[in-house]
């Protein structure tokens, strides 16, 4: 059983009737537009045979009046009706009458907000009518799409926000501009008339389909329609449910934006006429586009979604919308456009998922001097992965370009919650020997492995956690407690992702950090602290020893004191001795001058009995002691530049016992308890009261020129995590 959002079937829609959408003068209006011709209705007999239906057609909207989308049908009628109303003209004035009335009219400006095609269509009509258009676009719109809108003669305004913000600003601008008219295909309170005209405009496409099928003695029985902002879907529903017998209407949405689907689930009255609603992934749409392209059908991502949804509908045996007599029409709403081929989000197998995640460049941009890609790409993938399974998810992005994704499998209630906390960033690709993003299967030390930067640290562990959540959801036996997967950014540097997570209030009763622990269950690791110390001298020319004091040479006094202090560092019964080392030293301007300052950064690897305050106090005392011994020794107050806590969970803690039992069940032997030398985000979880263990798969090559994670270990940990969810969250 696949863990994905199911098809929503609405049996009540079969007997629902709507009034006809036929509008007087509409067909004549569209036929009067330059270069009007019905778009093609392309048969796909091979697909019909494969699905066991009578016929499948694609309505090809890749060239509608010279534009690459259907939108101009609604935009043109909406513009015509709105301008006629603005000028006090009858709705039957016709194109010639409207053009005549516009002669010498300089005060009309059309406004619209758009994600692309609607705004371009409004601009096209404005240019044809000889009036101005101002199109508002969201800030994420690519420059090439803005340029296409501008090529139709419109003024393009980029807003600092999303599509909804663009709609608001377009409406505000139209309201305060003399002669301003808003032509928007999205209705909102107080603005319903123009959107209704736009819906009417799309009925021309329905009329064309009906006539084209009639020439072949066929009648449409089911229509697949991409939802978008809803205006086309509204037109299709009105058309389909005004026929006798009614035409079935299947709405199609992307996994990541299931607004109509959510409305159907909520039982909203406005959606009662939809027979089914299907969500599809970008990858499924991509595969559909490849199929259509191979058969010389021009379609863009929105257009390909209908075919992707039809394949889902055909594969689902719970509905009854298809039979051997079905005549299906897929609305191909747009022509081809550039897009980045997406990755498959249907992957549930933990090894395959490790391969996919490894192929996404998520190198940390703040870790080294080498440019890193950041976490945007992998966060987008994980958001789509959760959406595909109808798993709640949240995006945390306090700093642009450094997002984390939090997925939540909501429990039935009353159980304990479990968090998997896995970082998605990796160290630099530059230090990798060959093909860091391969994600390929290989063999090392007689074992099958996944190769690539981050495969071990820690995409393999994260993939196992994701797969375990998907496996639990697929069973249909949802635990009582929530299961959270926090895919966090920036662990390799400043742990911004987990700090954002905790600052946002995310908590759980227990946590697993799937860092590679090589078969052990880790209950403790040291913290660390960076202390920066300035040793002060006096700048002078190298030839003037009377005036100059050498700060670098004076630092040797500090080093001797530090060595003595090192011998007295405390010891923990689990973590062993605390430690320190000098990680950085900076000083001097050039060889011919006495250095005025020498800055040393000391890293302390800490145990629970130490604190930031105690270590800083010790360093200050040490510096003061040196200054008493050597009057020329001067220093500035030491300062902490980075601090991370220790993590230590009692081996008797219930989480440890449960993890041991689950691992023993899967592995057949009891794993060892231990510690790790590295620091990880488990300490931040422990600091806020979330008991955490570190438990992840085996492999080699952490931060080195070749990295891999063992395939069998990934699978074992997926089973351990699944068992732990069942035990802890029950």
Q: What is the pLDDT of residues 444-483, one digit of tens each?
A: 999 999 999 999 999 999 999 999 999 999 999 999 999 9
Phi-psi map region of 527: left, alpha, beta (phi>0 left; psi -120 to 50 alpha): beta
CA gap 281, 292 in Å, rounded: 17
Express as a percent the part of the chain with pLDDT over 90.
90
Asked if 599 and 532 count as a contact pair (C-beta separation under 8 A), the reply is: yes
pLDDT tens per residue across span 698-713: 999 999 999 999 999 9
pLDDT at position 127 over 80: yes
CA gap 693, 714 in Å, rounded: 17
Residue whose structure tokens are 């996404």: 360
Asked if 19 and 113 count as a contact pair (C-beta separation under 8 A), the reply is: no
Query: Does 245 sit behind a cis peptide bond, omega within 30 degrees of 0 on the bond before it?
Result: yes
pLDDT tens per residue across span 547-594: 999 999 999 999 999 999 999 999 999 999 999 999 999 999 999 999
Residue limits of CATH 3.30.70.360 in the chain? 529-644
CA gap 106, 317 in Å, rounded: 59
Distance of CA 294 to the CA centre of its chain: 30
β-partners of residue 329 are: 57, 223
β-partners of residue 422 are: 487
Out of 3.30.1490.20, 3.30.70.360, 1.10.260.40, 2.30.110.10, the CATH code matching 529-644 is: 3.30.70.360
β-partners of residue 278 are: 252
CATH code for the part of the protein at 8-66+196-332: 3.40.50.1100
CA gap 345, 282 in Å, rounded: 8
Strand 155-158 with 132-137, pairing = parallel
pLDDT at position 270 over 90: no
Residue limits of CATH 3.40.630.10 in the chain? 362-525+648-729
φ, ψ of residue 187 in degrees (nearest 5): -85, 150
pLDDT tens per residue across span 299-333: 988 889 999 999 999 998 777 899 999 999 999 99
Confidence of residue 269 (pLDDT cuts 50, 70, 90): low
Torsion from C-alpha of 209, 211, 214, 218, nearest 10 degrees? 10
Span 350-368, average pLDDT: 95
CATH class in words for 71-195: alpha beta
Predicted model pTM: 0.91
Superfamily the domain 362-525+648-729 falls into:
Zn peptidases (3.40.630.10)
Asked if 230 and 256 count as a contact pair (C-beta separation under 8 A), the reply is: no
DSSP per position, 548-590: -B-HHHHHHHHHHHHHHHHTT--EETTTEE-EEEEEEEEE-S-
Residue limits of CATH 3.40.50.1100 in the chain? 8-66+196-332, 71-195
CA gap 454, 427 in Å, rounded: 8
Neighbour tally for 643: CB within 10 Å: 16
CA gap 61, 72 in Å, rounded: 10
């Amino acid at each position: 059983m696949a863990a994905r959002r199911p098809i929503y079937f609405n049996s009540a829609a079969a007997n629902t009737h709507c009034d006809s959408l036929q509008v007087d003068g509409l067909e004549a209006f569209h036929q009067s537009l330059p270069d009007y011709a019905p778009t093609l209705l392309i048969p796909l007999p091979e697909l019909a045979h494969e699905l066991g239906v009578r016929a499948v057609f694609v309505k090809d909207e890749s060239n509608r009046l010279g534009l690459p989308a259907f939108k101009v049908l609604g935009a043109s009628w909406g513009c015509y009706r709105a301008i006629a109303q603005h000028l006090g003209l009858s709705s039957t004035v016709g194109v010639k009458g409207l053009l005549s009335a516009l002669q010498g009219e300089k005060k009309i400006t059309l406004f619209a907000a758009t994600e692309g095609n609607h705004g371009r269509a409004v601009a096209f009509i404005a240019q044809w009518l000889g009036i101005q258009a101002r199109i508002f676009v969201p800030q994420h719109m690519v420059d090439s799409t803005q340029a296409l809108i501008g090529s139709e003669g419109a003024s393009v305004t980029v807003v600092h926000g999303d599509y909804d913000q663009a709609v608001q600003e377009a409406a505000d601008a139209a309201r305060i501009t003399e002669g301003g008219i808003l032509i928007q295909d999205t209705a909102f309170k107080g603005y319903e008339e123009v959107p209704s005209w736009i819906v009417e405009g799309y009925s021309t496409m329905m009329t064309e389909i009906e006539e084209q099928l009639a020439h072949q003695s066929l009648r449409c029985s089911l229509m697949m329609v991409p939802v978008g902002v809803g205006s086309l879907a509204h037109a299709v529903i009105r058309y389909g449910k005004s026929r006798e017998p009614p035409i079935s209407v299947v709405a199609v949405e992307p996994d990541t934006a299931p607004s109509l689907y959510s409305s159907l689930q909520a039982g909203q009255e406005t959606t009662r006429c939809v027979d089914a609603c299907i969500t599809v992934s970008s990858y499924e749409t991509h595969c559909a586009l490849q199929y259509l392209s191979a058969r010389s059908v021009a379609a863009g991502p929105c257009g390909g979604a209908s075919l992707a949804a039809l394949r889902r509908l055909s594969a689902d045996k719970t509905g009854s919308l298809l039979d051997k007599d079905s005549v299906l029409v897929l609305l191909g709403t747009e022509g081809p456009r550039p897009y980045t081929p997406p990755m498959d989000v249907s992957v549930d197998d933990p090894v395959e998922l490790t391969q996919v995640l490894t192929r996404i460049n998520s190198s940390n941009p703040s870790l080294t001097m080498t440019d890193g890609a950041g976490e945007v790409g992998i966060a987008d993938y994980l958001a789509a992965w959760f959406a595909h399974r109808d798993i709640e998810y949240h995006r945390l992005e306090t700093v642009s370009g450094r997002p984390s994704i939090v997925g939540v499998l909501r429990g039935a209630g009353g159980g304990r919650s479990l968090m998997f906390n896995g970082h998605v960033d990796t160290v630099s690709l530059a230090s990798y020997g060959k093909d860091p993003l391969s994600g390929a299967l290989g063999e090392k030390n007689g074992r099958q492995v996944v190769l690539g930067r981050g495969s071990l640290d820690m995409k393999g562990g994260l993939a196992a956690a994701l797969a375990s959540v998907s496996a639990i959801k697929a069973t249909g036996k949802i635990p009582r407690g929530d299961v959270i997967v926090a895919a966090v950014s920036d662990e390799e540097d400043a742990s911004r992702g987990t700090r954002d997570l905790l600052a946002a209030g995310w908590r759980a009763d227990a946590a697993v950090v799937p860092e590679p622990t090589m078969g052990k269950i880790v209950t403790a690791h040291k913290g660390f602290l960076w202390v920066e110390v300035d040793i002060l001298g006096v700048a002078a020319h190298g030839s003037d020893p009377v005036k100059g004091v050498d700060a670098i040479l004076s630092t040797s006094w500090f080093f001797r004191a530090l060595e003595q202090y090192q011998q007295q560092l405390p010891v923990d019964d689990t973590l062993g001795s605390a430690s320190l080392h000098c990680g950085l030293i900076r000083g001097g301007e050039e060889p011919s001058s006495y250095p005025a300052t020498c800055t040393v950064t000391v890293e302390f690897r800490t145990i629970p009995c130490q604190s930031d305050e105690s270590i800083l106090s010790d360093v200050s005392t040490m510096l003061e002691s040196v200054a008493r011994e050597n009057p020329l020794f001067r220093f500035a107050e030491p300062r902490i530049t980075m601090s991370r806590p220790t993590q230590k969970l009692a081996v008797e803690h219930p989480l440890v016992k449960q993890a041991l039992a689950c691992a023993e069940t899967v592995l057949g032997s009891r794993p060892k308890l231990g510690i790790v030398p590295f620091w990880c985000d488990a300490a931040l979880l422990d600091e806020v009261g979330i008991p955490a263990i570190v438990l992840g798969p085996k492999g080699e090559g952490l931060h080195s020129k070749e990295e891999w994670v063992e395939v069998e270990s990934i699978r074992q940990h997926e089973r351990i995590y699944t068992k732990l969810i069942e035990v802890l969250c029950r």
